[in-house]
Structure 1
């Protein structure tokens, strides 16, 4: 006798946006949660060919947990094929919370839908988990840049996050008398480092500057280049 097997796949969505069974957006919550808190809406799309139910839940973060500060609704979604539902979160840190980064996990789990038959002996139920990061206090990114160089029309540099919060940076090239050129973006967890590598079509001259900015345009780091020649 063949037993019905249930396989649960767990995906980390820091880098994965969608796949065959479910689409969820946005995937990143990096926001300040004191001084009135923050609201975020998440959109869940049923990518299957039949009606599907989802359970929305929270789990504790790995450190400095903020799951108890989160209000959210609905707790369940019932979506027809191709339909998109909305989940609304409100997060506010209590007064006198210590400055720093706090985390929690938002889960979206496919559950058995009554009166819907699933063919075959193998049923795949999807369980997505998204890490939420909230910040308390007027914390600024602390970024260091090492080993910056230009070779074969490629700009590379090591970017190190030495601050207390994760951050996303946009990279620009400034040349004298030319408009600023966007080179790309990079996201760093606190304590992490990454290599930023991109092709460039503009000559880097002596005095050119590589600028790292926050998403709101604030200058975080500026490096003056020696030029390619």
Structure 2
């Protein structure tokens, strides 16, 4: 195979992979009781119709696998160029399971499609490569309300004169990690947004560089929002 053809295939694969966009990027739902449910949007940023086969597989935690309780609908998702598709995941556990985290793996595998009028050979070939995108999603059981702290906050100026805020997000929630959004606040305005998942009994370093027009004196605090339901779980002055 020639180098030119190899490079073409590389960029074809790269463009196809980066064309896959899924929102939200997590499950993070309580799965016991009435069960957990979330809708996902898949964007098709190519100029070709794409079709995916959706399958639930066991997660990484053998003793905490929730794939056997998980359903995805539809099983086949077809998305036209420049459009969005929606799939739904529902989890219903037995009546009594142990508190804590569980996980599963979602597979989105591309399926061959007949070439449509106006599609290029390259894009048609991309679908035939049958990519299998695997995403690990986490849920939890038990009344485990999020308990998060933001410690050691530092507001500084970097070598380029931009304001930087940093600190440590500590998860004190028993038995579950927390997927959260961090907003830097200036007065009544939200300046920045960042998604972080803090593991069980763990912590994550947080650092963000703000826009050039934001001064150190503008920063008044941060808020941390639980991405399970968008509730604010911490509001802290700085």
TM-score, structure 1 normalization: 0.70
2:69 corresponding residue in structure 1: 69
Q: Which residue among 170, 188, 192 is the counterpart of 2:182?
A: 170
Contact 1:39 1:91 in 2 (8 A): yes
Gaps of 5+ in 2: 158-162
Q: Which residue among 22, 25, 40 is the counterpart of 1:24?
A: 22
Q: Report deviation, 1:111.
A: 1.8
Aligned-partner SS, 2:135: strand
2:164 corresponding residue in structure 1: 154
Larger mean Cα displacement after TM superposition, 195-204 or 33-42 = 195-204
Q: How does 1:1-229 map to 2 (within 5 A)?
A: 19-20=18-19, 22-63=20-61, 64-114=64-114, 119=121, 123=126, 124-152=129-157, 153-163=163-173, 164-173=176-185, 179-183=187-191, 184-190=193-199, 191-199=202-210, 200-201=214-215, 203=217, 210-214=222-226, 215-219=230-234, 222=236, 225=238
Aligned-partner SS, 1:30: coil
Counterparts of 1:212 and 1:52 in 2: how far apart (Å)? 36
Q: Report deviation, 1:168.
A: 0.1
Q: Report deviation, 1:28.
A: 1.9
Q: Residue 76 and residue 186 in structure 1: after superposition, are their counterparts in 2 closer, same or farther (change >3 A)?
A: closer
Q: Report deviation, 1:113.
A: 2.3
Counterparts of 1:44 and 1:192 in 2: how far apart (Å)? 30
> CA offsets, 1:170-222, max 9 Å, x none?
34548xxxx444343441231341223343536279xx655545431233x64
Q: Report deviation, 1:66.
A: 0.9
Q: Report deviation, 1:109.
A: 1.0
Counterparts of 1:86 and 1:209 in 2: how far apart (Å)? 36
Contact 2:56 2:71 in 1 (8 A): no
TM-score, structure 2 normalization: 0.68
Counterparts of 1:211 and 1:115 in 2: how far apart (Å)? 49
Aligned-partner SS, 1:68: helix
Aligned-partner SS, 1:29: coil
Aligned-partner SS, 1:203: helix
Q: Report deviation, 1:31.
A: 1.6
Q: Residue 204 and residue 90 in structure 1: after superposition, are their counterparts in 2 closer, same or farther (change >3 A)?
A: same
Gaps of 5+ in 1: 12-17
Q: Which has the higher helix share?
A: 2
Counterparts of 2:182 and 2:46 in 1: how far apart (Å)? 36
Q: Residue 46 and residue 172 in structure 1: after superposition, are their counterparts in 2 closer, same or farther (change >3 A)?
A: closer
Q: Residue 102 and residue 81 in structure 1: after superposition, are their counterparts in 2 closer, same or farther (change >3 A)?
A: same
